[in-house]
Amino acid sequence: MLAAIGFMFIAFMACTNEKKKETGTKGPKTLADSLMEDVMDGHDVGMSKYGKLEGTLKKVQKVLDSIRSLPEKAQEAAKPYKEQLEGLVLDLGYAITAMDKWMEEFDMDSALNNMEARIRYLTDEKMKVGKVKEAILNSLQKADSVLKR
């Protein structure tokens, strides 16, 4: 009986370890570890779109330049579209600046020796990078919509 229970325990642990290997988890995480992972996920999403942000901003600026080279009557007709494009320049520029600023100010090693302070810091950074990510994704979505016209 004891041998059977021992065998079942070993089999259970082997299955649990195998699942951890499959999912990439290393066991229980601290709150700080989870927060850092969330912060880095937000950063990774933002950075994966960073090149597209810059490219879209250049594209919008080219369209604006084209509108500015049109005859006056055509420029007047394109005024509402031009205003949308100018709004996009602001939105895209803000998203780029916000990402740059966040990355410049983020301190991955902040309060390593004070867990309470680290958790507060990472909680704030999670919120900040979430707003940056949202600005990036929203500006790109808006640009896609406006540029399809």
Model pLDDT for residues 84-94, shown as the tens digit of each residue: 999 999 999 99
* C-beta neighbour count of 97 within 10 angstroms: 12
Residue 78 contacts residue 67 (beta carbons within 8 Å): yes
pLDDT in tens, 116-144: 999 999 999 999 999 999 999 999 999 99
Q: Which of 4-8, 16-20, 120-124, 126-130 has the lowest mean pLDDT?
A: 4-8
Bigger pLDDT: 22 or 111? 111
**Would the pTM of this model clear 0.85, i.e. be above it?**
no
pLDDT score, position 16: 41
Average pLDDT for 44-56 = 96
Q: Is the pLDDT of residue 78 over 60?
A: yes
Average pLDDT for 16-34 = 62
User: Which phi and psi angles does 13 have, rounded to 5°?
Assistant: -65, -40
Query: Across all residues in the chain, what is the average pLDDT?
Result: 86
Q: Please report where in the chains the tokens 């601290």 appear, as a residue.
A: 30
Q: Is the pLDDT of residue 64 over 90?
A: yes
Average pLDDT for 111-117 = 93
Q: DSSP secondary-structure letter at 111?
A: T
52: nearest Cα among 143, 146, 113: 143
pLDDT score, position 17: 44
